[in-house]
Amino acid sequence: MDNLQSITEAAKAIGGADGPTAIFLAGKLGELGMGVMIASIAVGLLLCFLGLKLIKIISALMGFCIGAAAGTVISSIANVTGYTRIIIIFACAVVLAALIFFLYRVAVFLMAFTAVVSAVLAVFGTSEKTYVLAALGAAAVIGIIAMIFAEPGAVIVTSLSGGASAGLGIASLAGFAGNPLICLGIAAALAVPGMIVQFIMYSKREGKTERKNIKWRKKKDFMESEVEKARMLLDDDDEEDMDD
């Protein structure tokens, strides 16, 4: 209710809108905010429970956005306009997205770094320079650790960040956005099972890969054994020919 009132007041402030116009604008803004919130919950749940499978795609999208921003800065510094500017922005976005997509550990680092920075700044804000520097430092350290452990690190990062995103959205829809304990509780209630589900899928995949490796090694050993037997038979034939 408070959110709707604030939206209505904002709508009235736009061009001095009043009466039906303010209600119309408030409704549109409310629908937009609701849609964004639901989308955030959906993406958060997917990331929480299927993050290991989606991390490369999500990181590639993040890389595309970062590349586009970098291209914008480069074209502005070079004072480039028109179609050339668009080409530079698009090229930077595509190159960085492709680079992150094919470099798995870089994707894990980027995801961990972004998640930690977002979490720290959401809690402590950006008013103090110390908080920003601490967020960047903590994000870099955790990102490197996650990158070293690769897939287990990806499971932990995606389940926590996805659970936090979905939990905050659910708490907001339920009217508990101002209560940090409830927000953390919902986030934890999603992150823990999400992490368990992802580790189960990861262990099954690792077991399947190991079985394939064992089968391949057995096949290789069998082929080497057959080659060795054939070589020994040829050696025996050569010895018999020499005896004759």
Q: DSSP labels for 172-192?
A: HHTT-TT-HHHHHHHHHHHHH
pLDDT for 26 beyond 80: no
Residue 47: inside a domain: yes
pLDDT tier, 54 (very low <50, low <70, confident <90, very high otherwise):
confident
Q: 81 and 129 in contact (C-beta within 8 Å)?
A: no
pLDDT for 21 beyond 60: no
Please give the residue range of the domain that contains residue 50.
2-208
3-state helix, strand and coil shares in percent for the chain, rounded to the nearest 5: 90, 0, 10
- Over residues 82-121, the pLDDT tens digits come to 889 999 999 999 998 888 888 878 888 887 888 778 777 7
Residue 230: inside a domain: no
Residue 232: inside a domain: no
Report the domain count for the chain.
Answer: 1
Q: Which of 81, 45, 76 is nearest to 191 (CA)?
A: 45
- Over residues 172-229, the pLDDT tens digits come to 888 887 788 888 899 889 999 999 999 998 888 877 777 777 777 777 766 777 677 6
Residue 78: inside a domain: yes
Q: Which of 55, 63, 57 is nearest to 158 (CA)?
A: 55
Q: Looking at residue 158, what is its pLDDT?
A: 85
Residue 236: inside a domain: no
More confident residue, 202 or 16: 202
128 φ, ψ (degrees, to nearest 5): -105, 130
Q: What is the C-alpha separation between 184 and 165, in angstroms, rounded?
A: 10
Residue 233: inside a domain: no
Burial class of residue 211 in the structure, from the number of CB atoms within 10 Å of its CB (0-12 exposed, 13-18 middle, 19+ buried) = exposed
Residue 158 CB contacts under 8 Å (≥ 6 apart), including other chains: 47, 48, 51, 52, 54, 55, 111, 194, 198
Q: Looking at residue 32, what is its pLDDT?
A: 62
Residue 115: inside a domain: yes
Residue 1 CB contacts under 8 Å (≥ 6 apart), including other chains: none
Residue 71: inside a domain: yes
Q: Looking at residue 72, what is its pLDDT?
A: 92
